Amino acid sequence: MSQGLEIKHFDAGYPKRPVIENLSVPMLPRGKITVLLGPNGCGKSTLLRSLAGLNKASGQLLLDGEDLMRLPFAQRASQVVYLPQSLPAGVHLHVLESIIVAQRASGSRYHAHGDENEVMHLLEQLGISHLALSYLDQLSGGQKQLVGLAQSLVRHPSLLLLDEPLSALDLNYQFHVMDLVRRETRRRNIVTVVVVHDINIALRHGDHVLMLENGSLIADGAPEAVITPDSLARVYGVRGRIERCSRGTPQVVIDGLVEPVM
């Protein structure tokens, strides 16, 4: 049996406002990063929350053939970790404590010293080990996002859902975080789905892209197969092209807006 995530006939949204309707996505394999692209309001965050079981939904979510929709929430949460755009406000815990709490909540069987060793290693990888004894409610937005990523990875998920994990980070940390997420996705052989707004990040760091418009799947596949002048015009309303820099890396160049048809 192929390992990964299949989404079949998936509906999600809110009691009086459906957002995702009859969405089916072919296998998203383990060890790969899938990037969700689309304009504001197209359903990216709703889809992530629904995959995590936080929004009302119906259909099938098959992780290695097991339907997550049929599992009790606690059992589902042991396999699926969702990182929102920002951590809850007002949490007065040390960074180190908060990550150890997340690790123990995942059912990890590490000894106490093992907990701290793994956490410190993660903090070092993220470049924030110096914040271990800082309080969460004293951190900047970007620092909180990095702590949230550490809390997510330390739970050893099979399915990792990251909603705009780069939104409060500077360019250095954006690259650093995506590089780390890519390495850990491969090393742990997990399914990772990331929402980003920067299409160049999808081109550079994504293995697979899903492009949404109004809750529907417009295209899926390799980044350069999905991100094309036609899809940019249709979904984003811009005239763009994909060119390669001197090092061969593809990047999007936007030339202007699509003129409305009169």
**Domains with residue ranges and CATH for the chain:** 1-79+157-220 (3.40.50.300), 91-154 (no CATH)
d(CA 50, CA 33): 18
In this predicted model, what pLDDT tens digit does every residue of 2-52 receive, in sequence order?
699 999 999 999 888 899 999 999 899 999 999 999 999 999 999 999 999
At residue 112, the pLDDT reads 45
Q: Cα angle vertex 187, ends 117, 3, to 5°?
A: 130
Beta bridge partners of 63: 5, 66
Q: Tell if the pTM clears 0.85, that is, is over it.
A: yes
With a cut of 70, list the residues of the chain below it in pLDDT: 1-2, 89-90, 106-114, 261-262
* Closest alpha carbon to 122 in 142, 148, 104: 148
At residue 14, the pLDDT reads 87
Cβ pair 227, 199 in contact under 8 A: yes
For the chain, the maximum distance between any two Cα atoms, rounded to a whole number of angstroms, is 68
Tell me how crowded residue 235 is: count the other CB atoms within 10 A of its CB: 20
Cβ pair 83, 149 in contact under 8 A: yes
At residue 1, the pLDDT reads 56
At residue 109, the pLDDT reads 45
d(CA 3, CA 8): 15
Scanning the chain, the segments in alpha helix (DSSP H) are 44-51, 73-77, 95-105, 112-126, 141-153, 171-188, 199-205, 223-226, 229-231
d(CA 185, CA 161): 11
Tell me how crowded residue 252 is: count the other CB atoms within 10 A of its CB: 18
In this predicted model, what pLDDT tens digit does every residue of 103-114 receive, in sequence order?
887 654 444 445
Tell me how crowded residue 2 is: count the other CB atoms within 10 A of its CB: 10
Q: How many residues does the chain have?
A: 262
Cβ pair 176, 153 in contact under 8 A: no
Cβ pair 48, 28 in contact under 8 A: no
d(CA 11, CA 24): 10
Scanning 106-250, the segments in alpha helix (DSSP H) are 112-126, 141-153, 171-188, 199-205, 223-226, 229-231
Buried b (16+ CB within 10 A) or exposed e, 21-53: eebebeebebbbbbbbbbeeebbbbbbbbbbbb
